[in-house]
Structure 1
């Protein structure tokens, strides 16, 4: 019989289903002080307090070695935390894995496929391994999943002949064989061409519209900004920030952009006006936003004889916020 472990001291919620969060909490994923330390002392995840709202498309961001994949593996019950708690669909993980995981679809670190089987037969194997799946409707579910990810025409092709992008699609199809309350995707657009990436974005939006919460780890910040409603940023195993994507981007300062053929003169005037981080980029000069009035700065440029062809304050992107928070660029591994 399962007993509460040292890493899961909260035994609340005696129901066997994953029908809702305890105490009316509307979060689909909630961690408190979640920590993973590997042998040798490596601290991969350090005191993580993460909250993923129900119905959100949640982007999980972080540079190389930030602890994203380790966190996902703990949430899915693949590894146990050293300390702290994790609740998924209101139930403690990994103790409640058997009741939670049938409601969760996941694609983590690439799909595990039988290369000698066709794409269709791989999905049949996945579906047969699900004790909740009705075998009488298996072929219908498999066909629908293949069609949804654009693999219907390649269903009879052996998986070993699939491209990386096709394998990613097949793994996503496996996660969608049953209706899911939560979908966990680790780099789902890896290997896809631009058209495939657009299709996956559209699919994620459809799933969210149908009520599925999507937890998405990706190194493509533009991708996250386009499709996600909320996001969290990890760095060196610790949570830096979390919130709505709009709030995170608003927390970073935008850039002043002056379009002019007189780049050197424009840069000189901006510096004289106390503007910081002035950069000349061909026919553009960019800088931090000024503390004073934009109109006064524009007037100073014109008075100095600078031919101003464009003058605007560009909104900060999620990438700007990420760099400001972590102090570094983005790496694909994590």
Structure 2
């Protein structure tokens, strides 16, 4: 793939679309900072790189700066300092060139409630000066079908459920082929079946070469669909990289279920387990570097009544807690 020329290179006009895959990533920020009036620091010196072709999960608790970052990337608000490049071009200065190549669903879709789902999409497509009006109806029908709204296309948007509105917003982002898809909480309001369908859609888009940037508070969703991930807290980036590398930052846990937690904890420590804690009838710890069958035998020999003995593999949530020192509120 051809490298992206510097912005000042006269061989490439500003209007020439830039293919993702530059060395700096489809999205690249350097020192990106946003400070609001009153001194509130929402994003603090963010250095983020989103590889081409990835499904990139953007994680963080409420108030961590995720949505503010997305709004700066899309040119909706100006950064206080630092730079952001999307598809190789500076934002917000190159927004007219970049945004036609980007599909986005940010903070929920803005819809005309009195219009049907189909008419909402027709109106949005007509507002795109690069869209061919001769194929508008076919594009709208295909987008509705892809998000499972074909049967409800004639229904007024104000009668849509929250999940249906999310689907319609996704359909709007998919009216044209996109090089980058930016989704802020795309499964908000969806039932489990709808969430599975959105996961499948994201995988299909990535397989077709679209880079997907996905902000979500649902750790399980991120873990199932993303190839790369970044973690933010209190406006700062804590970690980023391939999903497997981030998961490796957390340790597996040995979990023993027993009515004798105090004695079990003592034996586990003797056997070399680290960070041993007891909570009710559950005793957990980092497993010792030895055959776990021997550890189980030591528990039984000490008279511990073992009702459960399992090795729980490290999850994305474990990595998140290890990085931030706090839990992840999935209910908000």
Aligned to 1:27: 25
Q: Aligned to 1:302, which of 300, 303, 313?
A: 300
CA distance in 1 between counterparts of 2:148 and 2:95 reads: 31
Give yes or no for contact 2:103–2:173 (8 Å, CA) kept in 1: yes
Q: Aligned to 2:76, which of 72, 75, 78?
A: 78
SS at match of 1:205: helix
1:279 aligns with 2:269: no
Give yes or no for contact 1:104–1:184 (8 Å, CA) kept in 2: yes
Give yes or no for contact 1:221–1:319 (8 Å, CA) kept in 2: yes
1:227 aligns with 2:225: yes
CA distance in 1 between counterparts of 2:285 and 2:330 reads: 28
SS at match of 1:278: strand
Aligned to 1:265: 263
Aligned to 1:247: 245
SS at match of 1:113: coil
Aligned length: 323
Aligned to 1:69: 67
TM-score, scaled to structure 1: 0.91
Give yes or no for contact 2:117–2:156 (8 Å, CA) kept in 1: yes
Give yes or no for contact 1:58–1:214 (8 Å, CA) kept in 2: yes
Q: How large is the RMSD of aligned CA atoms in angstroms?
A: 2.0
TM-score, scaled to structure 2: 0.91
1:171 aligns with 2:169: yes
- Larger mean Cα displacement after TM superposition, 50-59 or 273-282: 273-282
Deviation at 1:152, TM superposition (A): 0.4
Give ranges in structure 1 of 5+ residues lacking alignment: 1-9
Give yes or no for contact 2:58–2:214 (8 Å, CA) kept in 1: yes
Q: Aligned to 1:131, which of 125, 129, 132?
A: 129
Q: Aligned to 1:188, which of 177, 182, 186?
A: 186
Q: Write out per-residue CA displacement over residues 281-306 of structure 1, whole angstroms, 9 at most, x where no aligned residue.
A: 54x43223335553543332122122
- Larger mean Cα displacement after TM superposition, 257-266 or 82-91: 257-266
Aligned to 1:4: none
SS at match of 1:49: strand
Deviation at 1:332, TM superposition (A): 5.7
Give ranges in structure 2 of 5+ residues lacking alignment: 1-5
Give yes or no for contact 1:181–1:211 (8 Å, CA) kept in 2: yes
Deviation at 1:314, TM superposition (A): 1.8
